[in-house]
Amino acid sequence: MNRLMIAVLLYSMQINVFAENEFSVFAGGCFWCMEKPFDKLDGVIATISGYTGGHTENPTYNQTSTGTTGHYEALQIEYDPEKVSYEKLLEVFWKNIDPFDAIGQFCDKGPQYRAAIFTKNDKEKELATKSKEALQAKLNGKANIVTEILLAKRFYDAEEYHQDYYKKNPVRYRYYRYGCGRDKRLEKVEALVNGK
């Protein structure tokens, strides 16, 4: 009997040692282009393309693409905080958006394509604000960051054909990314941030 109780106690203690996964939400324009940079990170469990920040329940892509639902195309990231920090997620976010564009991202314009960080608690808000302020300070007044930090709202998964688009449709994805000028603009943003 004692062995059984000890085994149960040890097992329950072992479960508590493992940290629970966290979820964070970022909007960076077309959600297809935001999955890959986060998927590469050790500690990211999953990325889900979807919609958040709006007033329509269960929005579809067709509804969201009109720009009238208030939703952003966004990415929900499930991650292990023991392997990757929220600060690292913020770093990857900033490197993959144009923080100076208030009307969309790259070739995609409209309220659904704006960049934003959706925070679920005061700690995330504090870290997001600090990261934005640090980036703004590096600019030395050359440009103003317009990316918003907003309170997280309900996240709705996008349709299945949007999930892992860069894996399922690699040729179309690369053509879209190139045609949209995303990488060229990211190079210019990086040069501006780094004073080049």
Give the per-residue SS3 of 23-81.
Answer: EEEEEECCCHHHHHHHHCCCCEEEEEEEEECCCCCCCCHHHHCCCCCCCEEEEEEEECC
Catalytic residue among 30, 33, 107, 180: 30
Angstrom CA distances, 161 to 5, 31, 57, 105, stand at 49, 12, 20, 21
Is 30 a catalytic site residue?
yes
Q: Do residues 165 and 32 touch, judged by C-beta distance below 8 A? A: yes
Count Cβ atoms below 10 Å from residue 132 Cβ, excluding itself. 18
Phi, psi of 12 (to 5 degrees): -65, -35
**Helices (runs of H) and strands (runs of E) counted in the chain:** 8, 8
Alpha carbon distance 179, 163 (integer Å): 21
Q: Which amino acid is at 27?
A: A
| Residues with catalytic function | 30
